[in-house]
Amino acid sequence: MKTISKIFALLLVLAASAFTVFQSSNWKVNEEAYSVSFKGPKVEGIIKGLKASISFDPAKPENAKISASMDAKSLNTGNGMMNKHAKSEEALSVEKFPSITFESTSVSGKNGSYTAKGKLTMKGITKEMDLPFTFENANGEAIIKGKFTVVSKDFTITRKGAPESLEITLVIPVSNK
């Protein structure tokens, strides 16, 4: 009987530990404090409406799953005419394609520097992308920071005057509490 009790206790501890590990790797975006910005030769701005599911353990990045979407209609350059052009059919075509999404296929890295490989979908076109990022963790509060480049013609953004590419900068505070 003591042996059965010990085995049951051990199984209970293992099950609780597994749940704790699972819980500690699910991160929630601080929706009040994140920043997704873009910058090109003649334009810069922000995009809002970030919704993300982030399952990430810095010790085991290969197990990570990251999916995110942003509201393309929220794009804001600070200039009404530029906003109208950027949202038009020749650019992002936000009425037809209101979301920009990313879905990771793999994550690798160590010591705070990582790369999420995945599929970026914008304007109905999906491209493989590498998103390098850092992950700074302190007691269940973390900041994900990353920069990557999007080439306009890869997503059929052909509007006259559109930049050839945009640098996207991410600063995303997250919590697992």
> What is the 3 state secondary structure string of 132-158?
EEEEEEECCEEEEEEEEEEEHHHHCCC
Residue-wise pLDDT tens digits, 13-28: 334 434 333 334 899 9
The H-or-E segment that residue 106 falls in is: strand 99-110
User: 89 forms bridges with which residues in the sheet?
Assistant: none
Indicate yes or no: pTM above 0.85. Answer: no
Residue-wise pLDDT tens digits, 59-73: 999 999 999 999 999
Query: Cα(12)–Cα(129) distance, rounded to whole angstroms?
Result: 42
All domains in the chain, ordered by first residue: 27-175 (2.40.128.110)
What counts of helices (H) and strands (E) characterise the chain?
2, 10
Query: Cα(61)–Cα(131) distance, rounded to whole angstroms?
Result: 14
Q: What is the mean pLDDT of each run of 10 residues along the chain (177 residues)?
A: 41 38 72 96 95 95 97 96 93 96 97 97 97 93 96 91 94 93
Residue with tokens 């003591």, as numbered in its chain: 2
Residue-wise pLDDT tens digits, 143-161: 999 999 999 999 999 888 8
Residue-level pLDDT at 76? 97
Sign of CA dihedral 101, 143, 172, 134: negative
Residue with tokens 């010591």, as numbered in its chain: 111
